[in-house]
Chains A and B, each alone.
Chain A
Amino acid sequence: MDRDSLSVEITPLGDSALLARFASGRLPDEVDQVAKVSAAAAAVAAARIPGVVDVAPAYESIAVFFEPRLVLQSGDPANGTVALREQITSAIGTAAGSPGRAGRTMEVQVCYDAHFADDLDAVAQHTGLAPEDVIRRHSAAEYRVACIGFVPGFPFLIGLPPELATPRRATPRTRVPAGSVAIGGTQTGIYPRDSPGGWNIIGRTPLQLFDVHRVSPSLLATGDVVRFRTISREEFDALAR
């Protein structure tokens, strides 16, 4: 792995966090970029830097939130985050020199039954593909979790076949059902719970993407590889029970 590919610029994100932004477009493949950013985020978290309370990767950046009481109190506030910046840079450096975190490969069952696919026809129309073609291409691709956000556990997945890209709906829905698999622009995602949303719904998974009572509340993590497996309505009903 090329150390250069992780050249990073660290800037303040307000007064209680730093944002490490990676040089954009250095890698030929955005999927590789996400893998490297999530490996770097894992390395920053694993470094257990005193005062760091949260490490949040997204696409080409990592936000590092710190507890000002612990980070700033020692020494001159004017240089309050100098040591922290060095520790972050050093942790990211170790990730660049190592093979990196591979990310798990997760299978997500999806039922593309018309009952769950309110916008499948709209996507077919926009892309000029037959609905069954949309389903075939969507479920055949390999995706990577670029970040998790919007609501707890919502994965932004990159790797959508370009021909399936469909703009978000002009008017978002006030309620998208939990488990809905949807296309928003060049990405695809899964709604963990009933929520408002503007992406085009093409299917539904019976899996619980986010559950506060699990040891790992989020089914997916940034950097994970995701494959969709098509299931029938009967399988969906059995799994959702």
Chain B
Amino acid sequence: MNFTAVRAGFLTTVQDLGRVGFRDVGVPMGGALDQYALRVANLVVANDESAAGLEITFGNVRLQFHDERLVAWCGGGFPVTAVTHVLSAGRPALLRAGEEIFFRAAEFGCRAWLAISGGIDVPPVLGSRSTDMRGAFGGFAGRTLRDGDEIPVGASSAMTAQIGHRIGDAAPASWSASAEWASVGRAPGLLRFVRGIDWDRFEEEAHATLIRQAFRVSPDSDRMGVRFESSPLKLKHPSDLLSEAVAPGTIQVPPSGEPIALLGDCQTIGGYPKIAHVISVDLSVAAQLRAHERVHFREISVAEAHRLLVRREEELARFRVGLEAVLR
């Protein structure tokens, strides 16, 4: 079965939790820029957490379904309508054949992740259904969606049918994930970081700037990275470095001195000095940054970053258990 992208919007792609195991041959991880958002949306429609969904950028997306589907979305501040109902983030809605969901322009943040019961059923490429736009493979024909595309969806689980039955005629369910879970990235403009391997190569003034100054998000940002405008972060002794691995979250500083926080579609290796890394749990925040917004950075230890990661997973595990209790 398919659904139709009646209006595909500015940049809508099929994404799952990303592609691993091929970094040694230069294949980026990709995947949903906010993995927690996609995982929560999937749980709410009784999908496997790793099922492929849509990543919607800025909104103006209208989708029409051709059979009964449970849908839920998480992410930034989007006014969303399912059939005639307002559909808040984290709340499942049952759509029947011919019915539509419409994402208007984002009011805050810039990205949303939509899960559809059964998951998007494009063929996995190198172990993932994520769209690699630069490589033009994976996802839907290796590209962003266009108006009129027919996107395949898999078979819904028995659990989905049960939830659908419970929701009945009230298109959106009476329950939802908490706002905290539905909009993980909805936070003040603060990115926590751990020191990068090249931290000590930078002048002390660069460290002070990173910690104290507000950084403005450049319009030049994309799925590869968030570029910042700032006073330049200077090296003590500028020198060429050998390229080595970078990862989503890495804050690298090109010769201009203006830092770039890498996101999911970043290259696998880079030659710019790595002053810091945005911690994994704050990639949800980074994924919602819009041009001209201001953010601050705060240093934490790697141990603290690990504690936050473990805590986030424990909370998600509790959410999963609670959800199963609600759905049972």
In the bound complex, CA of A110 to CA of B245 (Å):
29
> Which residues of A lie under 8 Å from residue B238 when comparing CB positions?
none
Give the interface residue-count category, chain A. 35 or more
User: With a CB–CB cut-off of 8 A, which chain A residues contact B138?
Assistant: 212
Segment touching B, from A14-22, A113-121, A134-142, A230-238: A14-22
Kindly list chain B residues whose C-beta atoms are within 8 Å of the C-beta of A210. 25-26, 135
Which of B136, B137, B278 has the most chain A CB atoms closer than 10 A to its own CB? Answer: B137
- The answer to whether B310 touches A57, judged by C-beta atoms less than 8 angstroms apart, is no
Interface check A80, CB cutoff 8 A? yes
Interface centre among B24, B274, B303 (most CB of A within 10 A): B24
In the assembled complex, which residues on chain B have CB atoms less than 8 Å from the CB atom of A152? 22, 25-28, 132, 135
Annotate B35-46 by CB proximity to A: 1 below 8 A, 0 otherwise. 000000000000
Chain A residues with CB below 8 A from B197, complex form = 11, 13, 19, 21
Task: Tell me whether A73 and B310 are in contact in the complex, defined as CB-CB below 8 angstroms, given that A58-B243, A149-B26, A156-B243 are known contacts.
Answer: yes
Write the B176-206 contact mask toward A (1 if CB under 8 angstroms, else 0): 0000000000000000001001000000000
- C-alpha spacing A231/B308, complex, angstroms: 57
Interface residues on chain B, size class: 35 or more
From B125, B268, B269, give the contact of A212 (CB < 8 A).
Answer: B125
Residue of A nearest to B251 (CB): A14
Cβ contact within 8 Å between B306 and A56: no
A150 to B25, CA, bound (A): 10
Contact status A149-B302, CB under 8 Å: no
Q: How far is the CB of B214 from chain A (nearest CB, A)?
A: 23
**Bitwise interface map of B from 112 to 147 toward A, beta carbon under 8 Å scored 1, else 0:** 000000000000011000001011111000000000
Which of A19, A21, A221 is B25 in contact with, Cβ under 8 Å?
A: A221
8 A-B contacts (beta carbon < 8 Å): A14-B250, A16-B249, A68-B306, A77-B307, A150-B267, A152-B22, A195-B134, A210-B135
